[in-house]
Amino acid sequence: MADDSVHSLMDNNPEETVIPHEEAVTGNQNMSKRQMKKLLKQQKWEEERELRKQKRKDRKQQRRLQRQSQDKQEEEEKQDAVGQDFRKRPRREVVPSSLRLVVDCSFDNLMLMKDVRKLHKQIQRCYAINRRAQHPVQFYVTSLGGQLKQSMDEKDKGWVNWKDISFETEHYSEVLAKEELVYLTSDSPNVLEELDLKKVYVIGGLVDHNHHKGISFERAKERGIDHAQLPLNSFVKMNSRKVLAVNHVFEIILVYLEKGSWEEAFFTILPQRKGAVAVDKGDAATPEKGEDSDLEPATNTAEQTEEKLKYSCNRH
């Protein structure tokens, strides 16, 4: 072995050990003991490069799983609390709202199946919460087809029996009057101060890891449809990206219809992991163009387990 011969030479002449030319990588005829140690150290470093890389990947994956587990637990606790609050209300308190909410599912071809399944769960959550809301809205799911319909057929065949919801294969602009539409997107310069019950508010059904940022805003402009963003920046400061899932936007609107307060709606629904704090009245943040979306679906949204969602949907 080359390493054994090198160490043997070093032991015989510790002060100025040299090795044959063919054993040297520096191109010099002679190599000192110090140079040899440096060479061996470098060789060991190179040999362990892949091992170090794999260890870093393992640590990163472990941290990601821990965060996801924590986020899921926090979200389930919040959703359980909200669900219990809805269930405690006597049915006589329920007063349906004339407000219409649409989940626009025309982005199906831009998503991977794993993200389509996340959108499916978010729609399940919207349906379940709307069925228990004090002021349930008129709920539409448009452009239903492709991967989303495949996921629903495979994972929740009972969706065809859902009540108080309209599933449409057509685009929302073909189902509802154009002049009544308002697309909710944080890229819009318009801030929604209050809800107009005569309007139809559209939420983009897109889970894409932020790869297509601003696409819903651009499509709304192309079709000449009004657009606006929720007044999140006026009430909330967060220590993370202002990215909310479809069901979060949906639930915020339901709570606003009940409480009449955007601030209360935001702090009731926003996940704890967002680290949301109230904006001081004299320090209200102004929306900035290009800021991370506060209305488009999050990539790491924590939903209830599929079993809970199915149970909640099927019982209604």
Over residues 253-271, the mean pLDDT reads 91
Residue 288 has pLDDT above 70, yes or no: no
Q: Which domain, by its residues, includes 125?
A: 100-230
Per residue in 195-230, pLDDT tens?
Answer: 999 999 999 999 876 677 889 999 999 999 999 999
214 or 22, which is more confident?
A: 214
Residue 174 lies in a domain: yes
Cβ–Cβ under 8 Å, residues 233 and 192: no
Q: How many CB atoms lie within 10 A of CB 7?
A: 14
* pLDDT at residue 238, rounded to an integer: 66
Residue 98 has pLDDT above 50, yes or no: yes
* pLDDT at residue 30, rounded to an integer: 73
Which three-class secondary structure state does DSSP give residue 51? helix
Residue 234 has pLDDT above 60, yes or no: yes
Residue 278 lies in a domain: no
* pLDDT at residue 82, rounded to an integer: 59
Q: Give the containing element (helix H, strand E) for 181.
A: strand 181-184
Measure the CA–CA gap between 296 and 177, rounded to whole angstroms. Answer: 23
Measure the CA–CA gap between 76 and 69, rounded to whole angstroms. Answer: 11
Q: Out of 85, 208, 280, 292, pick the active-site residue.
A: 208
Residue type, 102: V
Residue 310 lies in a domain: no
Residues sharing a CB contact under 8 Å with residue 3, sequence separation 6 or more, in sequence order: 40
Range among 20-24, 35-39, 291-295 rated most confident? 35-39
CATH of the domain at 128: 3.40.1280.30
Residue 2 lies in a domain: no
Residue 122 has pLDDT above 70, yes or no: yes
Which three-class secondary structure state does DSSP give residue 243? coil
Residue 279 lies in a domain: no
Q: Give the containing element (helix H, strand E) for 100.
A: strand 100-104
Residue 244 burial class via C-beta count within 10 angstroms: exposed 0-12, middle 13-18, buried 19 and up: buried
276 or 39, which is more confident?
A: 39
Per residue in 47-91, pLDDT tens?
Answer: 888 888 888 989 988 888 888 888 777 777 766 665 555 555 555
124 or 303, which is more confident?
A: 124
* pLDDT at residue 226, rounded to an integer: 96
* pLDDT band, residue 126 (cuts 50/70/90): very high
Residue 307 has pLDDT above 70, yes or no: no
Per residue in 136-189, pLDDT tens?
Answer: 999 999 999 999 999 999 998 899 999 999 999 999 999 999 999 999 998 899
Cβ–Cβ under 8 Å, residues 299 and 207: yes
Residue type, 176: L
* pLDDT at residue 282, rounded to an integer: 44
Residue 127 lies in a domain: yes
Measure the CA–CA gap between 90 and 198, rounded to whole angstroms. Answer: 27
Look up 208 and say whether it is catalytic: yes
Cβ–Cβ under 8 Å, residues 25 and 39: yes
**In the chain, how many domains are there?**
1
Residue 85 lies in a domain: no
* pLDDT at residue 161, rounded to an integer: 93
Residue 232 has pLDDT above 60, yes or no: yes
Residue 188 lies in a domain: yes
